[in-house]
């Protein structure tokens, strides 16, 4: 019996096996590369600190003479009001003592009103209406060595604290 010159099954069986082996080989390396990438990203993330960089709690708020007597001044970006009275200055944290919303100063009524649940505060920060359980926090305010107002948001003071300047 004559043997065919080319065995079709033999000819195609080997390349198919090779192709399948190659695909599996690269797929396996692909999985290894992906896992390596995920692990590497995790390691890099671990190397960087998860610290939050926030603005300093102590900041200067200009010269005393730039504040009008009787005025309530919101320090932009700081969440603090600086009140100038005849006797001196005090600083109030612009954060409602109920749930932390920022009250709004109403110059015409001379009161702070909280937009969230309606608490009301006198110019001194003392609460007189609504659910706020206590006055607004009064913050330490001093004079810096160069004669500017210096507010420390990290230090609360008593309601009678006033900077004479
Ligand atoms: S947060 Fe101000 S009254 Fe509730």
CA of 34 to the centre of ligand 1 (A): 50
Q: Are strands 127-129 and 104-106 parallel, antiparallel or unpaired?
A: unpaired
Residue 108, CA distances (Å) to 66, 72, 104, 120 in order? 21, 12, 12, 14
Index of the ligand 1 atom closest to the CA of residue 103: 2
Q: Is 46 domain-assigned?
A: yes
Say what the pLDDT of residue 22 is.
82
Report the mean per-residue pLDDT for the chain. 90
Q: Are residues 107 and 69 in the same domain?
A: yes
Say what the pLDDT of residue 43 is.
84
Q: Are residues 80 and 9 in the same domain?
A: no
- Number of structural domains in the chain: 2
Residue 3 belongs to what domain range?
A: 1-53
Q: Say if residue 15's pLDDT is above 80.
A: no
Test site for ligand 1: of 117, 128, 137, most ligand atoms within 8 A of the Cβ: 117
Q: Is 163 domain-assigned?
A: no
Q: Which of 9, 33, 53 is the last residue of a domain?
A: 53
Is 132 touching ligand 1 by the criterion CB < 6 Å?
yes
Is 130 touching ligand 1 by the criterion CB < 6 Å?
yes
């Amino acid at each position: 019996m004559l043997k065919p010159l080319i065995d079709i099954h033999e000819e195609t069986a080997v390349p198919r096996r090779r192709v399948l082996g190659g695909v599996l080989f690269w797929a396996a390396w692909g999985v290894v590369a992906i896992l390596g990438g995920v692990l590497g990203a995790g390691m890099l993330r671990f190397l960087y600190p998860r610290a939050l960089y926030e603005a300093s709690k102590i900041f200067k708020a200009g010269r005393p003479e730039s504040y009008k007597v009787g005025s309530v001044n919101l320090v932009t970006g700081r969440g603090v009001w600086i009140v100038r009275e005849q006797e001196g200055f005090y600083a109030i944290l612009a954060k409602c003592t109920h749930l932390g919303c920022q009250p709004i100063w109403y110059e015409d009524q001379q009161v702070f009103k909280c937009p969230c649940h309606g608490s009301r505060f006198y110019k001194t920060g003392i609460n007189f209406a609504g659910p706020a359980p206590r006055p607004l926090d009064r913050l330490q305010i001093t004079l810096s060595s160069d004669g500017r107002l210096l507010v420390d948001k990290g230090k609360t003071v008593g309601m009678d604290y006033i900077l004479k300047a």
